Structures are given as structure tokens and as C-alpha cells.
Amino acid sequence: ETTPPIATPEHTVEGFVRQYLRELTYTQGTTLERASVDDKYLALARTARAYLMSRWNRTVTQQYRQPVRGVAYLSAEYLLGRQLDNALIASGLEDIAQEALASLGLSLDELRAAEVEPGLGNGGLGRLAACFIDSLATMNIPAIGYGIRYEYGIFRQTFVDGRQVEEPDSWLDHGSPWEIARPEQEVEIAFGGHTEKTTVNGVERTTWTPGWSVLAIPYNYMVPGYLNGRVNTLRLWSARATRAFDLKIFNYGDYAAAVRAQTFAENITKVLYPEDSTPQGKELRLQQQYFFVAASLHDYIERLLGEGFDLRRLPERITFQLNDTHPVIAIPELMRILVDLKGLAWDEAWEITRKCFAYTCHTLLPEALEVWPVELMSRLLPRHMEIIYRINDEFLAQVRERYGDDEMLVRRMSIIAEHPERAVRMAFLASVGTSKINGVAELHSQLLREKVLTDFADLWPEKFTNVTNGVTPRRFVRLSNPGLSALITEAIGDGWATDLERLRELEPLADDAAFRAKFREVKQANKHRLVDLLARRDGIVIDPDTMLDVMVKRLHEYKRQMLKVLHVVSTYDKLRTGELDPASAVHRTVVFGAKAAPGYKMAKEIIALINHVGARVNADPVVSQALRVAFPANYNVTVAETLIPAADLSEQISLAGKEASGTGNMKFALNGALTVGTDDGANVEIRQLVGDDHFFLFGLTEPEASAIQEAGYRPSAHYEQNPSLRHALDLIASGEFSGGDRSVFEPIVSNLLYEDRFMVLADYQSYMDAQERVDAAYRDQDAWSRSAVLNVARSGFFSSDRSMRDYLDRIWHVDPMPIEG
């Protein structure tokens, strides 16, 4: 190290207090007496950061000194959640912090509540990226995450008359103590313009003369490994206007117009697009994608060139992992760098490029696959469009060579679609331009090969692999469930948080009545924490002495929140008519949490329906003795951290073959909830591991659902044949939940009766039966907690550390590099 060593603050209460007062006084510029809650939180965040800073520097220094193979994760989303708690547990400081603050008359709980979570993602895919970088740091892997520093993350959801209203999430309002800007490492990113072919010494070269450009400013975030001294980096890019851009415009003399024009450039990283399954083909979104990918490749490659590295050996040094198709424009960008800027021959550059990239697909829905109009791509990135055409030409030549002139096949496999308009199929570009393609759960990877990328799997079977998703046990057990964590440690010692398969050692304790009693106490305490949160945050009153039945995830028809609503409505009906006795029924609280994409009409109608049904159920003096509905607005990572540990029942009820994996399902099982679920995504693997006796399976299998669809699915037949289903739908249609207005929920009901793309009606009876089995099982609390303990003990597989191990073995082949000192 060239800097003289500066002591990290001491790992003692006194050391913490000293650093805290220093931050409060010198950085925050206030005093304990005068400080606002925000001041106090910021000083605390900076104190935690100070402890990690020297580790961060050490990590960077040691990696410079000893360059090794690494991985770069390219993701348009990182749904990080709050940083403070994670920083404290990663550095072993929670107890010290608690005590230190108490000695100053401050409460850690109060201050941690002041943190606004960075919601830089939509849902599963973004949260997965956050879990993965946590695991990579914890496993000592040289890794960097690249992404976008959105000024506004996923919108804040509120309800007005039960309907979703979106508000901006201005998470940076008070500044973020967790980021460090590196404006001196800016990268200029070009767009538009035209290309020219020139011949230099008989060699044809293409030059791109862009029309405009913006600056990408990197902001670094710490990604601390758990108690291992490593701190990796997450580098998020923010857009700024270039100085040339400023000058040109300012010279026109219209100062106000010039300042306005400047914001044009800065719009690129203004907001996260809240659609997570139907791409809108928005120009700004393509700008975002190219912006962060080009900045990231440039950043990484320039660093290597600084070492005197030979780019021909790039695949030996790095794998760029593409998180879905969002960063796939990186493939032509690397080709452009190697061919146009570095002068490599096309074939050599192509070989290098393919070896450097790997692609993860997260969907099965055809409408979720990104496609960019050729018109747009040519205008925004003319050189990339040419490169894509050439990649496609050479690829289709290979297809013809292999299969002969099968024009149907060639058209099917072409990276360029011809209908309804000429467009680039990003998933196909990813399939051609990478050396590995993976799905995110066993079933998903199988269906990916058999249904989505069939022709590619046929051509290159060895390219395809599976890596089942996972979740970080640090955030989703250690941090979010301290009660269960203490109980586990008491039973099997520590070490499980980084070696989650050790939870198996809990299995014998499932048969230990004393342990089960303690387990129930923890669950009960977690329910009380949730009661407090919902009361404080939402003014919602829930009863901790009821079964907590939870369905939290983005709102999508394929996830089938509607099926859960039908169960609620049907139960309401039975309680009201006396078919079910409210006194002897199992008492349930059904909790929903879900955001809908702002333009997704049906999803928003379903949100309104849930709220209206909930209001009716909760207001009914008879029904509400046995059934209550809670739908806290703005479900996010922070809410998940209190909600999941309190849950008894986890709802994972998508139509089989539609949910790629799911990761909430894993979090619930790990926290001792039982699952009612279909044979879909990672549910399949959860059920295999925890065992059929401890999982409530229902519904069609994927082959069954496909067969029915092919034969012609008629949802109204179920309505006609099933009186209970008919009652439930009729009740919704009757205006029971809309103040007598029959028109309000008519679109939902008609959609179910005449379309029902996701076969809600086909699975209705099976779901109702499963819920009866749930009730019966819940009546035997001792048996239920035995199952719950077994869910915990057998879910160690779903650690994202295991996912990372699989990526390392099957795709990345990177060795750990522990940090010394």
C-alpha cells in the first residue's frame, strides 16, 4: 500500500461511539442535541461505512497487485434493499452498534427505520442480482456488478379507493451515504450518427461518426462479504451532459433552452421502467441498456489495457454474465471495440466475444422476450445494427450448412424477425453470441430447451445448462429473522449462514417437542413484529393468533393472485351462509403485497378487487371472526424482511410452466412457512427436498395444462359444472364488492369465463381442496411446526451461495481469492 495505514475504528463500543460522534460532528455538521433523526441515521450509516472502508481498499489493492480471473455481472436492475443492517452484520457490528447507540441515548431500531431502500429493480430478477453479488463477496470471488443508478427506482404504490396510484420514489432526496461518485472516471457514450467504410492498406474498416453523446459517471457501492474481510464493488452509472454538448447549445445564445436541453442527456438514468414482462420498445429504454453496457465494457477493458493486457486473452480473464436480454447489446459492442477500435479480424473477435459472454434467461412467456425494431436500432446505434446483421448472416450460413436450405427453419432462427415489423430478437442474439445459456430452475431450463429456444438447443445442446436460483441467507434469515437465527445457532452452532446445507442438522430436532415449542415461540414473536409494523406503517390491524397466509410478488395474471381471491370470496360466502362455522373454522389472515405495472390494466383491476373484497370481508361482523384480508401498499424488500419470517403459509400458485423459478418461495420455506403451490418453477425442487408430506401440492402439471390448451380450453365449462366456483364468480359479478355496481369487476369476470389464459378456473377445485388440507393440517399445531422445522432444515439448497457455486462450476470457472490482513 502506498497510503500510510490509517487505523480502522476499533471493534469496541467505545471505538464505535468515537467514530459515530466524529461522523455526526464533522461530516453531518451537527450535535447530538440538535441532530434530526435523519442526521443521526446518516452518521450511523457513515460509521458502518468507515469500518468497511479499509477492507474495500484492501480488496481493490490486492486485486490490482495480483490480477486473476473474475466475473462481471451485467444487470439493468439491482433490488438492493436497505444497506445499513447488512453492513453491520457483515462486519460483526450489530451488538456493538446497539450498545454504542444506547450509551448515547439513541435507538438502533429508530435510526434504521430512517433509511430509504434503493429500489433499483422491479422484482425477482433485480433481487436475484442483489443476492448474487452478496454471495460472490461472501465466497471471496473477484466479481464486479455493473448497472444503472436510476434517480427514481420502482414507484411508490399507494391506494386511492382501493386502486393503485403510483408516486415517484425519490430515494436520493437526502443523498445516499452508501455511494461514492468517481466523476474523474467518466466514460463518454455515443449514440446516433452514421457509419462509413474506408479501406486502409487494402483492409476494409468501418468508422462510426456518432450524432450525440452523454457522459457516464460511475458511483461505487460496497458489497461486503459476510465476516470475511472482502468488500466487492457494485458500479452503477449515472448520465450527465457532456461539456461539448453544453458549449454547442449554450453558444446559440438561448441560455434557458440550453439548460433544458442538458436535462435531455440526464434523462437516460432518470427512472427505472416499471414493466417487468411486456417490453414497451421505448427508445429511452434502449438508450439505458446501451448506456450502461458500453460504459461497463469500456471501464473493464480500459483497466485491463492499463495492465498491458492483450485483449486476445480476454476470455481467460473474464466472463460477462448477461442478466436476461437487457444487457445483450454488449455483444455487438464488444465486437465493435475489438474490430473497429482495436483492429482485430472479425473471426478472431467473434471467437473472443462468444467466449466472454454467458446468458441467463428468466422467462417462458413469449411476450416477455425483448425485441427492438430495426428502424430504432439503426437510428440509435447504426454501427451495432450493421454488426448484428453480419452476426446474423454468418449464423444463418452455419444453419444452412448444418440443416440444408430449410427456409422455414432459417426464418424461425433468424436474429432478425420480419413480422409484424423488422426487429432484432435479443434472446436469439444472446443465444448466438454466448457460450453458455442457463435457465433459473430445473423445470424452467427444460422448458427453455423444449419450448422457447428449441432450435438453438438442437444446434448447440452443450451450450445449455441449468442453475437453480437461490437467496442470500444473510439478508433473508440472519438479518430478517434474528429469533430463528439465534435458535438455529443454539441448536447447531454458527457457520450455517455461510454453509446453509448445515441446516440439515436441524432435522432430528423436528421430533423434539421442546425445540418445536421454541420454534413456535419465534414464529409468534415474528408475528408480533409484523403486527407492530403494519399498525405503524399502514394503520392495519391484524391478529397474531391467526394463520398468516401470505401471497407477495408482482401482480401478474400468470401468478394468479385471482385464484387466491376466489379462495377468499368462496370462504367469505361459506362463512356468511353458515356453511362454515366462524367459531370453529381455522382463523386466517390473508396478506397480499403486489405492485402492478402502471400500464397493465387487468393487473390494476385485480388490485382493486383484492382491496374491495378485503374491505367487505373485514367489515362483516361474522366473517371477520374467522377471515381477514390485509393488503399493505408498496410491498418492497423492507416489508418482505418483516413479513416473510412471520408467515405460516406461502402461496406459490402460478400456472405450471409459467413461473421461471420464483425466489420468494425459497425465502418462505427457509423461514419455516409451509407452501401451497403448483408444480412450477423452483416449487418443484422445494417439494422434492422438503417432501410431499410437508408441502401442499395442487393443480395441473405443465404437460396437462399444455394438452388442455391444445385441445381447446373452455373455462366456462368449469363455471357451469362447479357450484362453489359459480357462487364465487357470481358474487363478484353481482356487485357484492363494488357497492352494488355490477360493471366494476365485469371485465375480470368475463376474462375468466371466456379467456382465462392462465387457467384459474381449471385449477380452482384442486386449489380449494388443497386449502382444506391446509386447514386440517393447521389444526394440529404440533404436527404443523414439525413440518415447518423440516422445511427450514431441508431448504439449505436454496442459498444463493449454492447458485454461485453452480455458476462457478458450470459457467465461470473462477477461483476464490481470499483477502489477506
* Per-residue contact flags (x/-) with ligand 26Y for residues 275 to 294, judged by CB under 6 A: xxx-x---------------
Catalytic hit among 546, 589, 663, 675: 663
Return the closest-CA partner of residue 155 out of 324, 275, 75. Answer: 275
N-term to C-term CA, the chain: 12
Total interface residues for ligand 26Y by CB under 6 A = 20
Q: Give me the residues paired with residue 471 across strands.
A: 799
Closer to ligand 26Y by Cβ: residue 51 or 132? 132
CB of 275 to ligand 26Y, least distance (A): 4
Catalytic hit among 362, 384, 475, 588: 362
| Annotation says 195 is catalytic | no
Closer to ligand 26Y by Cβ: residue 326 or 786? 326
CB of 424 to ligand 26Y, least distance (A): 13
Q: 67-86: which residues touch ligand 26Y (CB under 6 A)? A: none
Quick one: three-class SS letters along 555-590?
Answer: CCCCCCHHHHHHHHHHHHHHHHHCCCCCCCCCCEEE
- Helices first, then strands: H and E counts in the chain: 33, 25
CA 153 → CA 168, 369, 486, 596, distances in Å? 8, 22, 34, 15
Amino acid at position 237, single letter:
W
Q: Give me 2's grid cell.
A: 502506498
Provide CB contacts within 8 A for 414, sequence distance 6+.
392, 396, 425, 428
CB of 416 to ligand 26Y, least distance (A): 19
Considering only the stretches 246-254, 273-281, 373-381, 607-615, report the one whose residues sit in contact with ligand 26Y under the rule CB under 6 A: 273-281
Considering only the stretches 123-131, 458-466, 642-650, 758-766, report the one whose residues sit in contact with ligand 26Y under the rule CB under 6 A: 123-131
Please select the residue that binds ligand 26Y; options are 70, 119, 382, 662, rule is CB under 6 A.
Answer: 662
Closer to ligand 26Y by Cβ: residue 42 or 128? 128
Angle at 275 between CA 745 and CA 594, to 5 degrees: 55
Burial class (CB in 10 A: 0-12, 13-18, 19+), 754: exposed
Q: 367-406: which residues touch ligand 26Y (CB under 6 A)? A: 368, 370
Q: 730-769: which residues touch ligand 26Y (CB under 6 A)? A: none
Closer to ligand 26Y by Cβ: residue 186 or 659? 659
Q: 672-711: which residues touch ligand 26Y (CB under 6 A)? A: 681
Q: Are 269 and 288 in contact (CB under 8 A)?
A: yes
Residue 186 binds ligand 26Y (CB under 6 A) = no
| Annotation says 554 is catalytic | yes
Angle at 565 between CA 564 and CA 569, to 5 degrees: 120
Considering only the stretches 269-277, 493-501, 533-541, 812-820, report the one whose residues sit in contact with ligand 26Y under the rule CB under 6 A: 269-277
Residue 660 binds ligand 26Y (CB under 6 A) = yes
Closer to ligand 26Y by Cβ: residue 235 or 326? 326
Considering only the stretches 20-28, 181-189, 653-661, 798-806, report the one whose residues sit in contact with ligand 26Y under the rule CB under 6 A: 653-661
Closer to ligand 26Y by Cβ: residue 277 or 785? 277
Q: 126-165: which residues touch ligand 26Y (CB under 6 A)? A: 128
CA 382 → CA 90, 281, 291, 476, distances in Å? 46, 17, 15, 44
DSSP 353-407: HHHHEEEE-----GGGS-EEEHHHHHHH-HHHHHHHHHHHHHHHHHHHHHH-S-H
Residue 447 binds ligand 26Y (CB under 6 A) = no
Please select the residue that binds ligand 26Y; options are 81, 118, 124, 147, rule is CB under 6 A.
Answer: 124
DSSP 692-728: GGGSEE-S--HHHHHHHHHH---HHHHHHH-HHHHHH
CB of 684 to ligand 26Y, least distance (A): 12
Distance of CA 800 to the CA centre of its chain: 13
| Annotation says 574 is catalytic | no
CB of 325 to ligand 26Y, least distance (A): 7
Residue 176 binds ligand 26Y (CB under 6 A) = no
CB of 556 to ligand 26Y, least distance (A): 8
| Annotation says 270 is catalytic | no
Return the closest-CA partner of residue 266 out of 298, 244, 237, 289. Answer: 237
Return the closest-CA partner of residue 354 out of 418, 406, 398. Answer: 398
The residue of the chain with the least Cβ separation from ligand 26Y equals 124
Residue 661 binds ligand 26Y (CB under 6 A) = yes
CB of 322 to ligand 26Y, least distance (A): 13
Catalytic hit among 384, 554, 588, 687: 554
CA distance 765 to 752: 15
CA distance 714 to 311: 58
CB of 450 to ligand 26Y, least distance (A): 17
CA distance 495 to 726: 53
Provide CB contacts within 8 A for 481, sequence distance 6+.
522, 526, 644, 645, 671
| Annotation says 667 is catalytic | yes
Considering only the stretches 124-132, 570-578, 703-711, 811-819, report the one whose residues sit in contact with ligand 26Y under the rule CB under 6 A: 124-132
User: Residues with catalytic annotation?
Assistant: 362, 553-554, 559, 663, 667
Q: Give me the residues that bind ligand 26Y (CB under 6 A), please.
A: 122-125, 128, 275-277, 279, 362, 368, 370, 440, 469, 659-663, 681
